Structure 1
C-alpha cells in the first residue's frame, strides 16, 4: 500500500531548489498533464531499479527554466493516486506527499520510490526499469531478462535493517544531517524527512541512515564502516609487516567525508614516492579521478553485512582496494563496466542528493576511472573477485608492451636485468620476464652481456657483436 506522507508547507528557498533540480537516474519531473497510466510507467520503472523521486507539477519552459504549477487541490490528483495504489498493492515502497509553497500555484505531488522487493508491472502488464534519465522496457516474454531483473531485486538489503535501541537523535540531530537538510532537501526538519525516506523504521534508524547521516558511523557500525590505508615499501605481490611504512591509517566519518578524506590521504601518500620508468625514477602519479571513482565504488557498493573495513594498500608500483562482498546479482568480472547493480540502492540514491556528491555520473564512474588511466598511458584498473571481496588493482603499468618498455629503457641506460625489468613493467613473474628476454634475443633486439652470468645476467641493446671467424 502507498504511504501517505501528507501535505508539507515549504519555504521559498525550497521551492527554488525544486525548480533547479535536474533529471537523472534518480529524479524525474513532470507537468500535471501526465496521465495516471503514463505516470505509473515512470514510477514502476524507478521501483524496478534503485528507486528515485518524481515531482508532478513542474513545467519546463523556455531556456530550460522550470515553473511551479501544481494541482489546484490535493483531490485533483486522486486519479493518479488511485492508479499508483493499484500498481503498488502489497508493496510499501512508494510514499506520496504534496508540497505547497509561498507565492506559487497549487500542490506539487512528490513521489518517493524505493527499490521494490518485487517486480512491478504497469496497468497493461508491461515491465520497465529506470536507466540514467530514461525508462527502458523489459521483455516480459524473455525468461533471461525477467530472471536478470529478479536477481537485481534481492529479497532484502542490509542497508534497510533498523538498528534497535539506537536513539533517533544519532541521525536526526547530527551536524551532517543538519547541513544536508539546509542545502539539499525542500524541508526544514530532519526527522520527518528521514521518516519519509524510510531511514527510520519502527522507531529506529537504519544502517543506511547511520552511514549517511551519523557524524561517527564507526561508533555504531564498528569494523564495517571505516577505511584502512596501509603503505608498503615494496613492489612484491604481497605486502608484509616488515615492509610497512609507518602504522596503518584509519579514515572515519559519514560516507561523504569518508570518501573525500580517503582519496586525499591516498594522493598525499602516493606523491611521496617514485617508480621506475624507461627514463629512470620518476614521481608516481595516478589520475585523481581514477582514485576517486575506485574508492567511491568500494564504499557505495560494498556489502555492509560483512564486518570488515575497506582496505587500501599502497605499494611502490600499484594500489589495491579491497571492497567486502562479491559481485552482486548478474554483475561479473567481465561485464561490470556495462552492467549496473545497486546493492545499496538507498545509499547510492541519497548520497547523490548531497552537494557535490561523490557519485555525480551514476553508472559512469568506473568508465571514467578506466579512461583517465589510458589518457596518461597507463593500463586500466582491474577488478577481481577474490573469495568474499572484490579487489581493485590500480597498477602503474604502461600501455606499451614489455618489449617497447625494455627497448626504451635501454636507450636511456646501459643495461637491464630481470629484476629491473619486472620493476619497470610491473610483471610479477621472473619466468615470464625471462621468456620476454628470450624472444627479444631471437629477434636480435637485445643480447646477453657475455661477461655476466647466472644471477648477475644483464642484457644490452641491439644484436650481439659479430666475431671474426
Structure 2
C-alpha cells in the first residue's frame, strides 16, 4: 500500500519528542529489529489501540529524532508489519519529515482490533501502561477472547436441570404469548439455549425464574442512593442499604428502571421557583440500563451497579467494550457480545431492546431534548461506566458561538445535532437573533441547503 510522507513543523516535532510512553504511545529506535516491534503492535491491537513512532532514540529519558535515511530503509519493517495485518486493515502508516531534522520517522497508528493479533514470535501481547505484556495464562486468554467478542460466556453450560428453564413461570408465560403451539424444551433446543439436556448461561438468564440462584455474584443489579454530589460515594453518604434486583433479564430491566426513577424523584434541587424534583428522561435510563444488562460480560464475577447521586446517575457494567467498539465510536458501531441474549429478549412482548442497535442514540437524543448534557461513557480496566449528568446544556446561542470558536462555519443541521432542536425554523431564528446582535454573519455564496454561518468578521 502507498505510504504518505507528511511534512511537519518544529512545534509538531517538539510535541512528538515530548510525549511520554504510556498505554497509547511508544517510541522505538530504527535499529530495533522489526520482529521485536511486532510485540508493540500486537499489544496495541489487543488493547485499546495506540501510536508507535519508529526512528526516535532515547537517552537519559530524553527523546531525539533519528529517522530512516529514506523510505526504502524502512522496507524490512513494513514487510513484517504487513504480515501482522494481512488484510490491510487495522493500521495506518505514514512517514514524518521535517526540515530541521535528518531522516524520516515512521509513524504507525494501530487501531483496536476485533480479532486477536499475534506478534512475529507467535505470542499474544496486550498493552498495560507503557509495557507490552504477553498473555501467560489460559484464563487471561479466555478473558481477552471475551473482550474481543470472539467467545461469549453466554454459551457456557450451567450445571442445573433443563426444567429450571423449560418449566419456569416466565417460560410458560413467554411461550403462551410468543409461540403458543410449541413445546418449550423443543423450542429452546432449536435456539441453542438448551444443549444436551443442559441450559446455557443465556438460557438461565432469560428463562429461569431466579437466575441468581445458579449464577450468583454475576447476574444481579445493585442500586445505591448517595446523598452527595461528590465524585465518589462513601459509607457516610449512602442512604440506607443498597437494593438488590434479581430475576430473569426481562423483568429485571423493567424493575431496575422503575426503582431508579423512584429514587431520582426523591431528589430535590433548588431552582428559581424553589425546590423542584430532579428529572431524567425515562428513555435514557431505560436504554442505558438495558445496555448494561444485555451487553455486559457475564464471565466477570460482578453485578451491574446503578448509583444515584444528587447530581448524576452512574451505571457500571462488568467487562470491557467488546470487539472494535470504543467510547469514541459506540454511537456509530454495533457489536453484540451476547448475541443470543440480544436476539431472544427481543422476542418478549414490549422488549427492552425494542430498537436494536439504536438504544444509546435514543438515550443521548432524549437528554438533548431536556437540554441536559450528553452522558459520558468511560471504559475502565474491568468495566464500562456511563455517567448520566444532571447538568444543563448551554443556551443554543452559546453553543453556536462556542462551536465557532473552533470551526470556521456552522450549519442548521449541525446546530440541530448539537442542541437536539428538531425544527429547522427554530434554528433559523437562533441564527437571526445572533445576526442582529452582530455576532455572526452568513458565509458568502452559501444559500439554500448549503447555507452556513460564521463569526462576524471585524
Shorter-chain TM range is 0.5 to 0.7
Within 5 Å, which residues of 2 pair with 1:60-459? 143-144=89-90, 150=115, 154-164=149-159, 166-185=160-179, 187-277=181-271, 280-400=274-394
Within 5 Å, which residues of 2 pair with 1:1-40? none
Q: What stretches of structure 1 of length at least 5 have no aligned partner? A: 1-139, 405-469
**Distance between the aligned counterparts of 1:289 and 1:399, measured in 2?**
18
Verify the 8 A CA contact 2:149 2:322 in the aligned structure 1. Answer: no
**Distance between the aligned counterparts of 1:235 and 1:242, measured in 2?**
13
**Distance between the aligned counterparts of 1:263 and 1:377, measured in 2?**
21
Deviations 1:258-290 (A, max 9, x none): 000000000011101112445553210000000
**What is the DSSP-based 3-state SS (H/G/I as helix, E as strand, rest coil) of the residue aligned with 1:298?**
helix
Q: What stretches of structure 2 of length at least 5 have no aligned partner? A: 1-85, 92-111, 117-146, 399-458
**Distance between the aligned counterparts of 1:142 and 1:291, measured in 2?**
40
**Aligned counterpart, 2:4:** none
**Distance between the aligned counterparts of 1:167 and 1:221, measured in 2?**
14
**Distance between the aligned counterparts of 1:397 and 1:377, measured in 2?**
9
**Distance between the aligned counterparts of 2:388 and 2:149, measured in 1?**
30
**Distance between the aligned counterparts of 2:250 and 2:214, measured in 1?**
17
**Distance between the aligned counterparts of 1:193 and 1:328, measured in 2?**
29
**What is the DSSP-based 3-state SS (H/G/I as helix, E as strand, rest coil) of the residue aligned with 2:236?**
helix
**What is the DSSP-based 3-state SS (H/G/I as helix, E as strand, rest coil) of the residue aligned with 2:173?**
helix
Aligned length: 264
**What is the DSSP-based 3-state SS (H/G/I as helix, E as strand, rest coil) of the residue aligned with 2:387?**
strand
Verify the 8 A CA contact 2:312 2:388 in the aligned structure 1. Answer: yes
**Distance between the aligned counterparts of 2:335 and 2:362, measured in 1?**
17
Residue 212 to residue 243, structure 1, CA distance change in 2 (3 Å): same
1:149 deviation in Å? Answer: 6.4
Deviations 1:48-80 (A, max 9, x none): xxxxxxxxxxxxxxxxxxxxxxxxxxxxxxxxx
**Distance between the aligned counterparts of 1:148 and 1:345, measured in 2?**
19
**Distance between the aligned counterparts of 2:325 and 2:177, measured in 1?**
35
Verify the 8 A CA contact 2:148 2:324 in the aligned structure 1. Answer: no
Verify the 8 A CA contact 1:187 1:193 in the aligned structure 2. Answer: no
**Distance between the aligned counterparts of 1:398 and 1:218, measured in 2?**
39
**Distance between the aligned counterparts of 2:148 and 2:328, measured in 1?**
21
**So what's the TM-score if we normalise by structure 2?**
0.55
Verify the 8 A CA contact 2:318 2:383 in the aligned structure 1. Answer: yes
**So what's the TM-score if we normalise by structure 1?**
0.53
| Runs of 4 or more consecutive aligned structure 1 residues displaced over 3 Å after TM superposition | 140-145, 147-155, 276-281
**What is the DSSP-based 3-state SS (H/G/I as helix, E as strand, rest coil) of the residue aligned with 2:324?**
coil
1:188 deviation in Å? Answer: 2.3
- Give the RMSD, CA atoms, in angstroms: 2.5
